[in-house]
């Protein structure tokens, strides 16, 4: 459950950076201040935020490839950031089963957007998973 909370906090920070144009460190500190995470979970959230930002060009290219008929900037901001974070985790955290990463992304999409967003996230990540060999 700690990793789920870490992913939620990381998503909130990534959203604040993307939409609110906040500096990543400030965004992360603000969302972490809202509730405590275990030290390992906080480190994981930090890695997700800064790793996703660093890999943004790479993961945006993957999203653009599989979001048929959608320009990246037209995707819902929350979905865009869920996809970025999940693709970063798929590429850079091979110790985490890809099914867990996809399921967590789907749940985030359903929580912060709606059921249809969960289906969209699932389809895109499943297609990308095959390309990434996971």
* Residue keyed to tokens 């869920």: 82
- Please state, in angstroms and as integers, the Cα–Cα distance from residue 6 to each residue in 36, 55, 69, following that order: 10, 19, 31
Please count the structural domains in the chain: 1
Q: Kindly state the tokens that stand for 117.
A: 């967003």
Instruction: Please tell me the distance from the alpha carbon of residue 123 to that of residue 15, in angstroms, as a whole number.
Output: 21
Can you give the CATH number for the domain in which 32 is found?
1.10.940.10
From 95, 78, 98, 75, select the one nearest 86 (Cα to Cα): 98
Tell me what pLDDT residue 1 has. 66
- Residue 133 clears pLDDT 90, i.e. is over it: no
From 133, 123, 124, 121, select the one nearest 7 (Cα to Cα): 121
Contact 51, 88 (CB under 8 A): yes
What percent of the chain clears pLDDT 70, i.e. is strictly above it?
Answer: 99
pLDDT digits (tens, 9 = 90+) for 81-132: 999 999 999 999 999 999 999 999 999 999 999 999 999 999 999 999 988 8
Question: Would you list the DSSP string of the chain?
Answer: -HHHHHHHHHHHHHHHHHTT---HHHHHHHHHHTS---HHHHHHHHHHHHHHHHTHHHHHHHHHHHSTT--GGGS-HHHHHHHHHHHHHHHH-TTS-HHHHHHHHHHHHHHHT-HHHHHHHHHHHHHHHHHHT-
pTM: 0.95
Residue 62 domain boundaries? 2-132
């Amino acid at each position: 459950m700690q990793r789920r909370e870490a992913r939620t906090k990381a998503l909130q920070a990534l959203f604040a950076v993307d939409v609110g144009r906040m500096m990543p460190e400030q965004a992360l500190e603000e969302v972490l201040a809202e509730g405590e995470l275990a030290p390992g979970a906080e480190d994981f959230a930090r890695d997700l935020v800064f790793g996703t930002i660093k890999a943004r060009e790479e993961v945006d290219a993957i999203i653009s490839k599989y979001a048929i008929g959608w320009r990246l900037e037209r995707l819902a901001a929350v979905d865009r950031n869920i996809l970025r974070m999940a693709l970063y985790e798929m590429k850079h955290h091979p110790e985490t089963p890809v099914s867990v990463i996809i399921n967590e992304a789907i749940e985030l999409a359903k929580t912060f957007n709606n059921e249809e967003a969960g289906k969209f996230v699932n389809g895109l990540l499943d297609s990308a998973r095959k390309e990434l060999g996971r």
